[in-house]
Amino acid sequence: MKNSKKQQNPSSRRNFIKSASLASAGFMIVPRHVLGKGFIAPSDKLNIAAVGCGGKADVNIRLAYNNGTDNFVALCDVDDRMSKKYRAQFPNAPYYKDYRQMLEKEAKNIDAVIVSTPDHMHYPVAMTAMQLGKHVYVEKPLTHDIWEARQLTEAAKKYKLVTQMGNQGSSGKGTRITEAIIQDGLIGDVQSVEVWTNRPVWPQGVQSPKDRGEKQPIPSEVDWNLWLGTAPMRDYHEAYMPFRWRGYWDFGTGALGDMGCHFIDVPFRALKLSYPTSVECSVGQVYADFFKEAFYDDVCPPSASIHLKFPNPKGKQFKEISLSWYDGGIRPQLPDGCDYDKVFANIDGGILFIGSKGILATELFGNNPKFFPESKFLNVKLPAPKRPLVEGDTEGHQQQWVKACKAGYGTYTSSSFDQAGPLTETVLMGNLAVRSFLLRDAKNKFIGRKKLLWDGANMKITNFDPANAFVRREYRAGGWI
C-alpha cells in the first residue's frame, strides 16, 4: 500500500496475508541458555508492534516492554503528537500512520500486536493482524459491535493465537477472591447482581459539533481520514480526540464500553454466565427547552439503567439470574442490612451480589469484598482463589500475555478471547438496548421501548427486528480489512 488513500486489490491483499502468514510461521524462540546465564537472547524477546501510542497505549507499551525484556519493533498512530514519546524511546522502530502499511511491510519482523485505538477500530486492526498469524492484545471493550466480538473469538481458535483483552482487573487477586466466594456458596444462591459506575466523566447527552455544523482545521500532525477509519465521514473537531470520542456512537461505546468490561467481568466469571436471554433499559432524558426534548442521536445519553436476564447455570433455587447496570451517577437501591457508606465507598463504582444467605459488595476489579448483614459474617474466612494468581496482579496483565505468546497457543491468559468475546457481547448488548430505546419513527415517536429477547447463538433480537441493526454496523469504504 503506497499511501492511506489508495486501495489495495482484494486479491493481492489475500495473497499478501497468505504469504506473510507462511513467513511468520517460521518464527522460533531460541532459549536464553544458549548465550549463558544472565543473558537474554534477542530471539528470546517478543517482537511487538503497537497500533496506538498514546492514552491507554502508554500503559500497555510500558508494561509489555517491561524495561527491555521485550522489543517494540514497529509503531503506528494516526496522530504524531500521541506517538512522540515512543518514537523517541524506540528510534529504530519504523513508524507508520496506517496500520495496514505497517503490517504489510513489517509482518516478518512482528510476533504480536497491541491494539490501543478507539473502539471502532479494534476489530479491523486486530483481525488483520490475526490473519497474519500475529498474537494480539486488544484494549477493552474488545470490539465496537457484537458481531465483531464473535468474529475475533472464532479467529483466535481458527488461527491458534494467544490473545488478551485489556481488562486488567481480570488478572487481579480481587476478581479471583470474589469468584471463589460466590462459587463456594458463602452467600448462597445468587439471584441478582447490581453493577454501577460513575462514568461517563466525558461529555454525553450533549449536542455534538456535527449536529451544530461546526468544524475546525485538521492539525498537521493528524491523518483525519485514518482516524475516522470505519466510521462515517465527518468534519474534524477537537471535541472528538483524544479520548472524548468514547461518548460518540460512531467511535465509542459509552460508559458501558469504558467500565462494563471491568465491572461486569467479575459476576460474568463468578456466576459462569452465558449469553443473556433478554435486555431492557431506560435512559436519562435531555430537554432543549420547556417540554421540548432534545434528540442528540450522535452521542450516548447522559445516564442509563440496563437490565439483563441470564439462565442460571446451577438451576437450583433460581432458574434465572438478573444483572442490572447503572451509569451516569445512578445507583441501585440497597437491600436492608447494607451499609451505605461501605457499599458506595469507591468512586469508580461497585458490584452487589444478592444471594439467598447474604449479600456481597465489592469495588472495582472485585476488590475489598464486604459481607452484609455484617453480624452474620463476623468470622467468615475468605476462600482461596480457584484460578492462578498473576505475577504483578493487575499490572502483570500485559506481561502475562507476553509470556504466553512466547510459550505458545493454549497457554493461559486471564482474558483470552474465548472469555473476553462472550463478555464483550454481553456488555454491548446493553448498548444495543439503549440504541433501540432511542429509535424513533418519522414522527419522532419512540418505537423500541420494550424488553428485547435475544437469541445469543444466532446474534439476533427475535421480537423487534429494527434493533438488529445494532448487532453489526456498516463500514465506510476504505479497505479497512
CB 233 within 8 A of CB 251: no
Based on its alpha-carbon atoms, the radius of gyration of the chain, rounded to whole angstroms, reads: 23
pLDDT tens-digit map of 234-284: 999 999 999 899 999 999 999 999 999 999 999 999 999 999 999 999 999
Helix, strand, or coil here: 130?
helix
Mean pLDDT taken over the chain: 92
pLDDT of residue 314: 76
Closest CA to 118 of 238, 233, 251: 251
Confidence tier at 39 by pLDDT (50, 70, 90): very low
Query: d(Cα 41, Cα 39) in Å, to the nearest integer?
Result: 6
Helix, strand, or coil here: 63?
helix
Query: d(Cα 125, Cα 127) in Å, to the nearest integer?
Result: 6
Helix 417-437 × helix 146-159 angle, to 10°: 170
pLDDT tens-digit map of 448-463: 999 999 999 999 999 9
CB atoms within 10 A of CB 26: 7
**Mean pLDDT across 389-405:** 98
Residue with cell 414522527: 443
Helix 397-407 × helix 56-65 angle, to 10°: 50
pLDDT of residue 36: 40
Helix, strand, or coil here: 339?
coil
Query: d(Cα 378, Cα 358) in Å, to the nearest integer?
Result: 12
Helix, strand, or coil here: 439?
coil
Length of the chain: 481
Share of residues in the chain with pLDDT > 70 (%):
91
**Mean pLDDT across 117-134:** 98
CB 126 within 8 A of CB 51: no
**Mean pLDDT across 61-72:** 97
Helix, strand, or coil here: 243?
coil
The yes-or-no verdict on residue 111 having pLDDT over 50 is yes
Task: Concatenate the DSSP letters of all residues of 169-234 into one string.
Answer: GGGSHHHHHHHHHHHTTTT-SEEEEEEEE----S--SS--HHHHT---PPPTTB-HHHHHTTSPP-
Q: How far apart are the first and last CA of the chain?
A: 13
Query: d(Cα 237, Cα 215) in Å, to the nearest integer?
Result: 5
pLDDT tens-digit map of 303-341: 999 999 999 987 677 889 999 999 999 999 999 999 999
Which stretch of DSSP H or E encloses residue 20? helix 10-24
Confidence tier at 51 by pLDDT (50, 70, 90): very high
pLDDT tens-digit map of 5-18: 344 444 444 454 44
pLDDT of residue 403: 97
Cis omega (within 30 of 0) for bond into 311: no
pLDDT tens-digit map of 199-241: 999 999 999 999 999 999 999 999 999 999 999 999 999 999 9
The yes-or-no verdict on residue 42 having pLDDT over 70 is no
Query: d(Cα 391, Cα 172) in Å, to the nearest integer?
Result: 9
CB atoms within 10 A of CB 224: 16
The structure's pTM equals: 0.91
Closest CA to 172 of 368, 384, 397, 370: 397
CB 52 within 8 A of CB 86: no
**Mean pLDDT across 410-414:** 97
The yes-or-no verdict on residue 20 having pLDDT over 80 is no
pLDDT of residue 375: 95
| CB neighbour list of residue 356: distance below 8 Å, 6 or more residues apart | 187, 188, 189, 190, 191, 317
Residue with cell 427486528: 465
pLDDT of residue 44: 87
Write out the three cell numbers for 425: 457481547
3-state percent helix, strand, coil for the chain, nearest multiple of 5: 40, 20, 45
